[in-house]
Amino acid sequence: MSLLKSAWEIALERTENIQADPEKIKKEAVLNDGRRLAGAFLTADTLDSQPIEKAYGSCDSTSQPIMREGIALTILLNIALPQATDFEARFDRLLYLAQLIEEDDPNPLQMLGQIKQFLQKFLAARDSLADRMKQQYQGMFDEKQERLMQKYGKGINSAIEQDPEYLKLVQKGYAQITAQYQQALSDAKEQLKQMWGLS
């Protein structure tokens, strides 16, 4: 008999005493149910809260905290810097989910309200930045257009929004403001995570 064991034999020896933990499996299933139901509620075309309310309300005393955790994790994963003003309808759904799982502690709901206001300020700051940059760059853009007209003898019809230098300036400004707001949002999400006792 060979002194060397195959990788298969070693793997079998290491795993022969491992047994499935039914309690852990049940916990994972309930946690995933909470995530799945919250995700379905957030992405549904119509605002139908009945499935998640029914599932959450019918949980026994040991399963409800686990489902609550799954819903809370889904809320946290769906808080992000918005790209457009239509984020508010989706954020209101996040607030609804938070109200569902928070019966006693108003602090997470207050924190989410503050986060919503913060995200509105982010969009306003981003729009304001674009307007300010446009005003600042307009003089340089007009000079550039004038030089091109003198050089080629005719005007070039282009908008400031198509100028590569202006676009670079705006992208740099957006990157800076996004980084600042992203850091503050990450801090707020961490506080919310601690309020919910999530690791």
108, 62 Cβ separation under 8 angstroms: no
Q: Is residue 53 part of a domain?
A: no
Per-residue confidence at 5, pLDDT binned at 50, 70, 90? low
Q: Is residue 175 part of a domain?
A: yes
Per-residue confidence at 10, pLDDT binned at 50, 70, 90? confident
Q: Is residue 67 part of a domain?
A: no
d(CA 123, CA 112): 17
> Which residue range is the domain that position 183 belongs to?
109-199
Q: Is residue 64 part of a domain?
A: no
**CA geometry: angle at 81 spanning 66 and 65, to 5°?**
10
> 90 or 160: which carries more pLDDT confidence?
90
Q: Is residue 89 part of a domain?
A: no
Instruction: Determine the average pLDDT of the residues in 63-85.
Output: 94
Look at the chain and report how many structural domains it folds into. Answer: 1
2, 38 Cβ separation under 8 angstroms: no
Alpha carbons within 13 A on the beta-carbon side of 68:
20
pLDDT in tens, 49-58: 899 999 999 9
138-168 as b/e: b if 16+ CB within 10 A: eeebeebbeeeeeeeeeeeeeebeebeebee
Q: Is residue 180 part of a domain?
A: yes
d(CA 14, CA 31): 29
Q: Is residue 7 part of a domain?
A: no
Full-model pTM: 0.78
Q: Is residue 80 part of a domain?
A: no
